[in-house]
Chains A and B, each alone.
Chain A
Amino acid sequence: MVLLFLVLLSLTFITLDFRGDGGGITGGLRHGVESFFSPIQSLVGAVVEPIGNAFSGITDYGALEDENARLKDRIADLERRAAVGDDVRKELADALALQDLSFVGSIPTVSARVVSTPVSNFEQVIELDKGSDKGIDVGMPVVTAAGLAGRVTEVTSHRSRVQLLSDSTSAVGVLLPTSNERGAAEGEGTDRDLVIDFIEPEVKVASGEVVVTSGVGGSFPPGIPVGNVAHSKAVPGELQRSVTLRLSADLARLNMVKVLQWKPQR
């Protein structure tokens, strides 16, 4: 009886979510819970990240003898400090690199810090510490010094969520400048190269070729670096060339990013 009740309740929530298209009651619940846990998430995340790094460092040394306990503690302490130092240095380097983004042109930008890495194993979504109060809106592109990272999908007053290009529902219109061929790069999940669709089989595509946004579809401004061609080959019988794209931005180690205040043209 309990199970039946809870199943029906779950299905009611799912129906409400579909009908409200992510907004409505379920959207309000989501925002409420997120806002409540955001400070905890930021605080715990900031503490855990360097400890996690130090922990990884310690495990690399393998098993130590009992009599070396004092030395082990000392190593752990030093590595913890080193990890914290590395994080600060990386953040500073990221912030400096973001000051000179030639590909952004005259588009105004907002700098933001990544406060949450993907929680789910099925989505590539991060959270930024800035929201609509700083002029961020849904659809705005997010870049690192290396190139495009994703786009804003949800915004609250102080936070925004970004769907990374590696997300399996993400797609971006791209241009191969050498051949002037346009395609669509689709995400394939964590640590996987993107797949570029709609490239004609006879088009010559070299490995390492730079790929930029095409601006087609109006979701992203044209000319932003996306990555480099990783593999390219014509498959007999296929109507399009098999091309994979390695992203320029290191999505696994995002720290500081810039949100381009550019509205999608739809």
Chain B
Amino acid sequence: MTSVIRVPPVALLVVALHTAVLPHLRLFGVGADVMLLAAIAAGLVAGPRQAAWTGFLAGLIADCFTRTPFGLSALTYCLVGYGVGLLRVGVLEMSWWLPTAITFVGSALGVVTFVALGTMMGQEYLWSWRVPMIAGVLALLNMALGPLIVKSIRWALGPVSEPRPVR
């Protein structure tokens, strides 16, 4: 019940960051992807199932603001969130640096997956020499934003039982 009340303001915050704040704060022309970060954060705090849902919904909203096929971001973020959630479940002890490292790698993989899936769907323009640079810079920016988003997602989802392996 708590999460029903808490999710909307956090969702609004994340969308406002994505559409109005982060596009102004770019490094080498690359901005952070807070919708992808939300999926990763859900994976870190709530496990694969909730992360897949969070990634899917965040991706659908992200798809509304781009011209890439509607559902491409949803598919990508859902897969990344699920993957991060699985990784979280598989790790026995979370070192202090591990969430940061997972955020970095997850973000970079998210960009590569988005481009790869998009290219498979005929969006060849997504692939360019800049993709590795975009992946790297975006991962760095997401890493910097990580603590804020992880805290927000943890607060929104409420007390979550420790993730267990999915069978």
Which among B56, B67, B78 has the highest number of chain A CB atoms within 10 Å? Answer: B67
Cβ-based interface call for B45 (8 A): no
Which of A117-125, A134-142, A218-226 is near enough to bind chain B? A117-125
Interface residues of A in 59-95 (CB under 8 A from B): none
Q: Which residues of chain A have C-beta atoms less than 8 A from B138's C-beta? A: 121
Binary B-proximity of A17-28 (CB < 8 A = 1, otherwise 0): 110001000100
Which of B69-77, B87-95, B96-104, B154-162 is near enough to bind chain A? B69-77
Nearest Cβ on chain B to A243's Cβ, whole angstroms: 19
Looking across the interface, which residue of chain A has its beta carbon closest to that of B15?
A: A37
- The count of chain A contact residues (Cβ–Cβ below 8 Å) is 45
Q: Across the interface, do B56 and A6 meet the contact criterion of CB distance under 8 Å?
A: yes
Q: Which residues of chain B have C-beta atoms less than 8 A from A191's C-beta? A: 29
- The count of chain B contact residues (Cβ–Cβ below 8 Å) is 47
Q: A37-B19, A120-B68, A121-B138 are in contact. Are A10 and B78 (CB under 8 A)?
A: yes
Which of B2-10, B123-131, B144-152 is near enough to bind chain A? B123-131
Q: Across the interface, do B33 and A30 meet the contact criterion of CB distance under 8 Å?
A: no
Tell me the dominant secondary structure on chain A's binding face: helix
Nearest Cβ on chain A to B106's Cβ, whole angstroms: 16
Q: A3-B78, A33-B64, A119-B23 are in contact. Are A10 and B71 (CB under 8 A)?
A: yes
Q: Which residues of chain A have C-beta atoms less than 8 A from B30's C-beta? A: 121
Interface residues of B in 16-45 (CB under 8 A from A): 16, 18-21, 23-25, 29-31, 33
Looking across the interface, which residue of chain B has its beta carbon closest to that of A168?
A: B125
Interface residues of A in 101-133 (CB under 8 A from B): 116-123, 125
Q: Across the interface, do A121 and B134 meet the contact criterion of CB distance under 8 Å?
A: yes
Q: Across the interface, do A3 and B48 meet the contact criterion of CB distance under 8 Å?
A: yes
Q: A13-B60, A44-B20, A189-B128 are in contact. Are A121 and B71 (CB under 8 A)?
A: no
Q: A52-B24, A118-B23, A189-B128 are in contact. Are A7 and B79 (CB under 8 A)?
A: yes
Nearest Cβ on chain B to A203's Cβ, whole angstroms: 27
Q: A29 CA to B70 CA in the complex, in Å?
A: 10
Nearest Cβ on chain B to A174's Cβ, whole angstroms: 20
Contact of B19 among A6, A11, A41 (CB under 8 A): A41
Q: A16 CA to B63 CA in the complex, in Å?
A: 13
Q: A13-B60, A37-B19, A44-B16 are in contact. Are A190 and B70 (CB under 8 A)?
A: no
Q: Which residues of chain A have C-beta atoms less than 8 A from B74's C-beta? A: 6, 9-10, 13
Q: A118 CA to B65 CA in the complex, in Å?
A: 9
Looking across the interface, which residue of chain B has its beta carbon closest to that of A34?
A: B64
Q: A3-B48, A7-B79, A34-B65 are in contact. Are A26 and B23 (CB under 8 A)?
A: no
Q: A185 CA to B24 CA in the complex, in Å?
A: 27
Q: A40 CA to B15 CA in the complex, in Å?
A: 9
Q: Across the interface, do B126 and A116 meet the contact criterion of CB distance under 8 Å?
A: no
Q: Which residues of chain B have C-beta atoms less than 8 A from A3's C-beta? A: 48, 52, 78-79, 82
Cβ-based interface call for A97 (8 A): no
16 further interface pairs, Cβ-Cβ under 8 Å (given A10-B59, A10-B74): A3-B52, A6-B74, A12-B71, A13-B74, A30-B70, A34-B64, A37-B15, A44-B21, A117-B24, A119-B65, A122-B66, A122-B118, A123-B67, A125-B66, A168-B128, A191-B29
29 contacts across the A-B interface (CB closer than 8 A): A2-B48, A2-B52, A2-B53, A3-B52, A10-B59, A10-B72, A10-B75, A11-B71, A13-B63, A16-B71, A17-B69, A17-B70, A17-B71, A26-B70, A30-B63, A30-B64, A30-B70, A33-B61, A34-B64, A40-B15, A40-B16, A44-B20, A52-B24, A116-B23, A121-B31, A121-B138, A122-B134, A190-B29, A191-B29
For the complex of A and B, the 6 pairs showing the least CB-CB separation, nearest first, are: A13-B71, A10-B75, A44-B20, A190-B29, A17-B70, A33-B64
A residues with a Cβ closer than 8 A to B are 2-3, 6-7, 9-14, 16-18, 22, 26, 29-30, 33-34, 37, 40-45, 48-49, 52, 116-123, 125, 153, 168-169, 188-191
